Structure formats: structure tokens, C-alpha cells
């Protein structure tokens, strides 16, 4: 009798228009076939839910293909091999992969990457600070925005997984001042007390355009943009000459059905010789070795800390949907993960 | 008896609010003192009027200091030395300098740069294609937007001095397709017939967002932006992945008293990994030698052509004001210059 011979998974039942709801998703349980040669079966300990997934639910051309209707959703996940017909992976190996939104994954061994388990660091870290989340912050600061020692740095959405990593990495790489925004007074407090930001503000309490100049009285040299919209506009007001912007996401526009109004001060890009550069991580995976070499010791020493919001979906994979909707509403603190085993 | 012992010049009488009018300017004639040691006197053959001057008429911090009230305006000019008390310059030398908006200039010899007179090329070229105008196009394409062979290039305001230079330089440096916009059907016709653009459209005839995709059916890789506003928004729609934008000016907003609405599709910067970079020429003057080395032969061979609109202000320096207002209304074809001698 094979263990874990079924897989319970979430499918895209209908494309959302605007904010997604439960009706856009469906849960099904299927019997898994016996392993073919070269395949492994993995019990997922944690699955990742991420803002970019909302974009993949639309049927439009983007930097990643849209999710298919009536097919299982995919996304980052980490778990343990429970059965193997491959020499590359053994039962008990910890692996990361992209077959999330389900409790059990099965595929060729080349779909999985073996990782080390670090004492004291939960496996879920590979979905966040030790994974694409941390690497996104690293690449955005170093490669996209060319962080220099002494830069004054502003990070929006700074209590999020990427944002809190970006603020800490900026400080460790020599930023002179790190300012962050977040969407509640509790998150703002965490930015300074836990993540070492020099100043922070609640973007829901007053216009960003009023608060940012107070938090950055000498202007900023580098803006790590997770938000877009009013945050980018406010940043364009205070960026110093030769300032740089890494545009990482525009979460404020993800659920808008109408195009979002752009900054009314684009002329500052010319006046102050600013550089804006958008990026998605795919083209920059070659930075991963340098990132792991830096982040491993930082995590081990406690120089970098990270938050997770863990939603328990053990025995109820469908709870992944609620976690995703909560993420879009900003209910997470730090990286949002779903425990599936 | 010294010749040219008076200087007639234009002063800023009042700061314009929105579009400038004649009332913002005043003409005066002053007696020039005898030359001090090290000084020269220059009769200006041509004075330059340029869009950036409108910005300097506002009392706001920008990349150049504002013009002072009740002081003579300044700007590019080219002329001949008529009297010299400096070993650096002799009577008859052709020189470029920044003491424009007047018929006779007098200052220390270090304020003037001696230039060669090229047979068949009018001295006014040093105010345009052989001067900062051509250099702006060169720097924007090569340094700011990293032009690559095979790029599809879009230039807005392409019938202007910078725009027509940019289109021709892009073609000579290996662009696969060069598309331009201009503000009348006559200018559009000149773009293809005279300046060698592959396609062009009249931005006043229909929304740019409708016309640009038809003129660039395979998208664009590089956008040289002289306009901002609706042009930048349309370009963000069609820029291919890893596309680059050189933001050189935003003439569409110069006379607006309200902030200009920004592009509603900034999210494309993230989706397509775009780079936007603003610039003003000051930081890039070290490119001048390479530029002159390329542009000299191109002009001599006729591979690059240039247009001028010459306003005759001989005996009426005040006509410079009308030339400047006409420039802002788009009445020029190519570089707008004023003949003052």
C-alpha cells in the first residue's frame, strides 16, 4: 500500500474580474498514478501564496503565462520526498519546487531542487527570505537600482516579505538611512523596532506625498517600489539628482479594473536625471549564489530577521484560497505561507 | 571711434504664468564700456531660442538657475570677434558662447569657444546640429538609452531639432526601423522624405495611442522622448521587453499651470522590464569629441541633413521674443535661430 496516493489541489474555476472570491476556485482530490521511472512523490510541508499569482489569473499576456482554467494552480512549495524512482533524490530529502496549491506533488526529479535544512530555520524560509523573496530584494537593490554606500533608501510595502528583506539588506550593504511605508500602525512599529528601519509611516493615515518628505527630509537616492501609484508619485517628488528606482511590483493596481492614474510629476525624471527600471526575477537567477552566500550567515547570526504568517491548511487544502485572498487584503505580516502537512 | 559700442538686448520684465506674452519681455540698448584686459567684443551672427528657456523663466529650482528679473536673458549664440584684448582670440575668429538674446556681447575671452568654419555649413549649425542639439540626440541614444544595432526606435517631436537629429543618428548607428511623430502633416511628410524615417504620424490627427501601434507593428525597443504626456503613455504600451526610454524633455507640459496627468500604464515598466532614464546634457559633455568626430563627416557627406527656421532680427533685436513665442507654438521647422547681424 503506497502512502499519500491521492493529491488534493486547488483549481482555477473562473477568472476573477477585480477582486477574486471563493467562487473563482475549486478543490478536487485525485488518485495519483504509480511513479514512473525518474519520478518522485513529495509531501508539501508549506505552499506559497504571492501577489503575482493574481496577475496570472487574468487571461492576458504578461511576463508569465496565465493560469489555465480548470487546471490546478501552481506556485512555490517546499516539502520532503516520500517516494522516489530517481537516483537524484532520496526519500527524506527536503526539496523546493513549483507544484504548490496541493498537499502532494508528483513529477520528474528535475522539477525539484534539493535544499539544506538549516538548524533553527523553518523549511518555509525557502519560500521567502531564503528563496525568491529574498533574492528579489537583493537583485532589486544591487543590480537594478545600483545601491551605493551612503544612499538614503525608501522601501514601500516595507512590512511585506520583499520589503522587509530589502530594508534590512540595504542597511547591511551601507545605506545611510532606510525609510519604509506600511499599511497599519502595527506594521509601522515593526519596521523600526524589528527590522531596523530609521523611519516609517502608515500610508493609510495620510497622503504619502505629505508623509514621505517628513520621513526623508534630505531626500532619497534609491526607491525600492513594491506599490506603484501614489507611492511612486511621492518618491518622484523627493528623489535626489541621479536617484534610482527599482520597480518591483504595483500591488496597488493589481485588482483595479480601470487603468491606474500615473504620477503627475514625471517631468522630475528629466529634471533630476532619474532612472526607473522595472524587473522580474527570471532574468537574474544568476545572482542566486552570491545571495545565498550573504544571506545564509546573516540569518544564522540574526542580522536579518524575517516574519511569516502561517495559515494552517492541514486536512483542508481549500484553506489556501482564504490565505491568498487574505494576502491581497493585506492581512499578512511578512511572507504568507500555507502549511499543508 | 570704436565700432559696435552699444548692445541691444532682451530682458525678462515679468515672469510668465502659463504661456508667455510680449509683456513678459523688454528691450534695452546700453553703451558698452571700453574693453578691459582679457576681454573680447563679439558681434552675434545668430542667437538661439530653445524650449528649455521657458523653464528658466519660472522662479523654481530646476537643473539650471532661473533667469533673473530685469536682467538680460542669456542663451546660445555664435558670432565673430570684432575687438580683442586677449591673446586667446583674434579679430575675425568665429566663436560660440552663451551671451545670446543680444546683438553684441562683451566678456572675458574664457566665456567664448573658438570654432572652425566649415565650407558650405552656415555658422548657425553650431547652435544646432553641430552643437548642444546634436549632442543631446547623440548622448540620449548612445549613453542614456544604450542604442543597439537592430533596435526599433521611436522619436517623438521628431521634426524638431533634437528629434530630427536623433532619428538620423539612430538610422546611421544601425536601428532596424525609425518611427517619428510630429505636429502637422507637412512635418510628417518631411520626416520620411527628408530625414529618412521609416514611418511617421501626425499626433494632432488622432490619439498617439492609436497611431503608434500602427506605425510600429512589431513594437519598439528604444523611445527617445521629447514630449512626455500622451506620447510616453503610448510608448509604454508598445515597448518590447527590456525596452529603454531616454527622457529628454516634456514640452507638452512646459506651459501647463496644473500638474500633468501621468501614464496610466506604469505597470508595464515592471511587466516588460523597461528602463526609463531622464537626462540633461550637462553631465555628458565628455561625449562631445566622439560626437564631433562622427557628425562632422556625416554633415560633410550629406548623410545627415538639418533644418533651420531663421527669424531675421537685424535692426530689431526684440524680434527674438516673437521667435521664442513662435517656437513654443511649434511654428519652427527644425532648429529655431535668430539672425542678429
User: For position B10, which CATH number holds?
Assistant: 3.90.180.10
Residues A116 and A13 in one domain: yes
Strand partners, B80: B43, B94
What pLDDT sits at residue A334? 77
Judge whether residue A247 has pLDDT over 70. yes
The string of pLDDT tens digits covering residues A128-168 is 898 888 999 999 999 999 999 999 999 999 998 899 999 99
Judge whether residue A228 has pLDDT over 70. yes
Q: Is A292 among the domain residues?
A: no
- Please check whether residue A216 touches B, CB under 8 A: no
Q: What is the DSSP letter of A99?
A: B
- Asked if B220 and B239 count as a contact pair (C-beta separation under 8 A), the reply is yes
The string of pLDDT tens digits covering residues B125-154 is 889 898 888 999 999 999 999 999 999 999
- Say what percent of chain B tops pLDDT 70: 95
Distances (CA, A) of B107 to A77, B99, B287, B339: 73, 9, 27, 21
Residues B242 and B150 in one domain: yes
Q: Which CATH number do you get for residue B170?
A: 3.40.50.720
**pLDDT category of residue A258 using cuts at 50, 70 and 90:** low
Judge whether residue A257 has pLDDT over 70. no
Q: Is A190 among the domain residues?
A: yes
Are A280 and B267 within 8 A, CB to CB?
no
Q: What is the DSSP letter of A170?
A: H
Residues B40 and B111 in one domain: yes
Residues B142 and B254 in one domain: yes
- Say what percent of chain A tops pLDDT 70: 95
Residues A164 and A251 in one domain: yes
**Residue among A249, A264, A269 minimizing CB distance to B278:** A269
Q: Which positions in chain B touch A253 (Cβ < 8 Å)?
A: 267
Are A273 and B278 within 8 A, CB to CB?
yes
Q: How far apart are CA B266 and CA B244, in angstroms?
A: 14
Q: Which positions in chain A touch B259 (Cβ < 8 Å)?
A: 264-265
The string of pLDDT tens digits covering residues A6-22 is 999 999 999 999 999 99
Q: How far apart are CA B154 and CA B157, in angstroms?
A: 10
Are A264 and B267 within 8 A, CB to CB?
no
SS3 string of chain B? Answer: CCCCCEEEEEEECCCCCCCCCHHHEEEEEEECCCCCCCEEEEEEEEEECCCHHHHHCCCCCCCCCCCCCCCECCECEEEEEEEECCCCCCCCCEEEECECCECEEEEEHHHCEECCCCCCCCHHHHHCCCCHHHHHHHHHHHHHCCCCCCCEEEECCCCCHHHHHHHHHHHHCCCCEEEEEECCHHHHHHHHHCCCCCEEEECCCCCHHHHHHHHCCCCEEEEEECCCHHHHHHHHHHEEEEEEEEECCCHHHCCCCCCCCECCCCHHHHHCCCEEEECCHHHHHHHHHHHHHHHHHHHHHCCCCCCEEEEECCCCCCHHHHHHHHHHCCCCCCEEEEECC
Residues B36 and B105 in one domain: yes
Q: What is the DSSP letter of A210?
A: H
Choose the weakest-confidence range: A35-49, A311-325, B113-127: B113-127
Q: How far apart are CA A129 and CA B187, in angstroms?
A: 55
Residues A119 and A179 in one domain: no
What pLDDT sits at residue B256? 53
The string of pLDDT tens digits covering residues A192-225 is 999 999 999 999 999 999 999 999 999 999 999 9
**Residue B31 is part of which domain span?**
6-127+307-339
Q: Looking only at Cα atoms, what is the longest distance across chain A?
A: 71
Q: Is A299 among the domain residues?
A: no
Residues B272 and B164 in one domain: yes
Distances (CA, A) of B335 to A138, B49, B209, B305, B311: 46, 9, 27, 12, 11
Judge whether residue B258 has pLDDT over 80. no
- Asked if B311 and B124 count as a contact pair (C-beta separation under 8 A), the reply is no
**What is the pLDDT of chain B when averaged over all its residues?**
92
Q: Is B30 among the domain residues?
A: yes
Residues B112 and B212 in one domain: no
Q: Is A269 among the domain residues?
A: yes
Q: Which positions in chain B touch A277 (Cβ < 8 Å)?
A: 269, 273-276
Are A63 and B271 within 8 A, CB to CB?
yes
Residue that wins the pLDDT comparison between B290 and B153: B153
Residues A120 and A148 in one domain: no
- Please check whether residue A253 touches B, CB under 8 A: yes
- Please check whether residue B273 touches A, CB under 8 A: yes
- Say what percent of chain B tops pLDDT 90: 74
**Residue among B233, B247, B270 minimizing CB distance to A270:** B247
What pLDDT sits at residue B255? 52
Q: How far apart are CA B168 and CA B175, in angstroms?
A: 10
Arithmetic mean of pLDDT, B43-50: 96
Q: How far apart are CA B125 and CA B96, in angstroms?
A: 11
Q: How far apart are CA B201 and CA B192, in angstroms?
A: 10
Query: Beta strands A220-225 and A152-155: pairing type?
Result: parallel
What pLDDT sits at residue A250? 52
Q: Which positions in chain A touch B250 (Cβ < 8 Å)?
A: 266-267, 270
Arithmetic mean of pLDDT, A302-309: 90
Arithmetic mean of pLDDT, A267-272: 92
What pLDDT sits at residue A120? 72
Residues B27 and B107 in one domain: yes
Choose the weakest-confidence range: A2-6, A111-115, B85-89: A2-6
Within a 13 Å sphere around the CA of B216, how many CA atoms are in the beta-carbon half? 31
What pLDDT sits at residue B161? 83
**pLDDT category of residue A1 using cuts at 50, 70 and 90:** very low
- Asked if A159 and A180 count as a contact pair (C-beta separation under 8 A), the reply is yes
Residues B140 and B274 in one domain: yes
Q: Is A300 among the domain residues?
A: no
What pLDDT sits at residue B301? 85
Residue in chain A closest to B225 (alpha carbons) equals: A270
What pLDDT sits at residue A192? 97
**What is the pLDDT of chain A when averaged over all its residues?**
92
Arithmetic mean of pLDDT, A298-309: 89
Q: How far apart are CA A133 and CA A308, in angstroms?
A: 12
Query: Beta strands B94-97 and B152-155: pairing type?
Result: unpaired
Q: Is B120 among the domain residues?
A: yes
Strand partners, A153: A178, A222
Q: Is B166 among the domain residues?
A: yes
**pLDDT category of residue B250 using cuts at 50, 70 and 90:** low
Total domain count for chain A? 2
Amino acid at each position: 500500500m503506497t502512502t499519500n496516493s491521492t493529491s488534493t489541489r486547488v483549481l482555477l474555476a473562473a477568472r476573477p474580474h477585480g477582486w477574486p472570491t471563493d467562487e473563482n476556485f475549486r478543490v478536487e482530490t485525485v488518485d495519483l498514478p504509480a511513479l514512473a521511472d525518474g519520478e518522485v512523490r513529495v509531501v508539501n510541508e508549506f505552499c506559497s501564496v504571492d501577489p503575482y499569482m493574481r496577475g496570472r489569473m487574468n487571461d492576458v499576456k504578461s511576463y508569465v503565462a496565465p493560469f489555465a482554467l480548470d487546471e490546478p494552480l501552481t506556485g512555490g512549495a517546499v516539502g520532503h520526498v516520500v517516494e522516489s524512482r530517481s537516483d537524484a533524490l532520496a526519500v527524506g530529502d527536503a526539496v523546493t519546487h513549483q507544484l504548490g496549491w496541493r498537499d502532494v506533488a508528483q513529477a520528474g526529479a528535475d522539477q525539484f531542487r534539493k535544499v539544506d535544512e538549516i538548524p533553527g530555520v523553518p523549511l518555509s524560509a525557502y519560500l521567502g527570505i531564503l528563496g525568491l523573496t529574498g533574492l528579489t530584494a537583493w537583485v532589486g537593490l544591487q543590480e537594478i537600482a545600483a545601491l551605493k554606500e551612503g544612499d538614503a533608501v525608501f522601501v514601500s510595502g516595507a512590512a511585506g516579505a520583499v520589503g522587509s528583506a530589502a530594508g534590512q539588506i540595504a542597511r547591511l550593504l551601507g545605506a545611510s538611512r532606510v525609510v519604509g511605508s506600511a499599511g497599519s500602525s502595527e506594521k509601522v512599529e515593526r519596521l523600526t523596532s524589528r527590522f531596523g528601519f530609521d523611519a516609517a509611516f502608515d500610508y493609510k493615515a495620510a497622503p504619502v506625498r505629505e508623509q514621505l518628505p517628513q520621513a526623508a527630509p534630505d531626500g532619497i537616492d534609491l526607491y525600492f517600489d513594491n506599490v506603484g501609484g501614489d507611492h511612486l508619485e511621492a518618491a518622484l517628488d523627493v528623489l535626489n539628482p541621479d536617484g534610482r528606482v527599482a520597480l518591483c511590483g504595483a500591488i496597488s493596481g493589481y485588482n483595479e479594473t480601470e487603468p491606474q492614474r500615473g504620477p503627475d510629476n514625471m517631468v522630475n525624471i528629466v529634471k533630476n536625471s532619474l532612472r526607473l527600471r522595472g524587473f522580474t526575477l527570471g532574468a537574474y537567477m544568476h545572482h542566486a549564489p552570491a545571495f545565498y552566500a550573504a544571506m545564509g550567515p546573516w540569518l544564522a547570526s540574526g542580522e536579518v530577521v524575517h516574519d511569516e504568517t502561517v495559515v494552517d491548511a492541514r486536512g483542508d487544502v481549500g484553506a489556501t484560497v482564504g490565505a491568498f485572498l487574505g494576502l491581497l487584503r493585506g492581512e499578512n505580516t511578512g511572507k504568507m505561507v500555507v502549511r499543508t502537512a
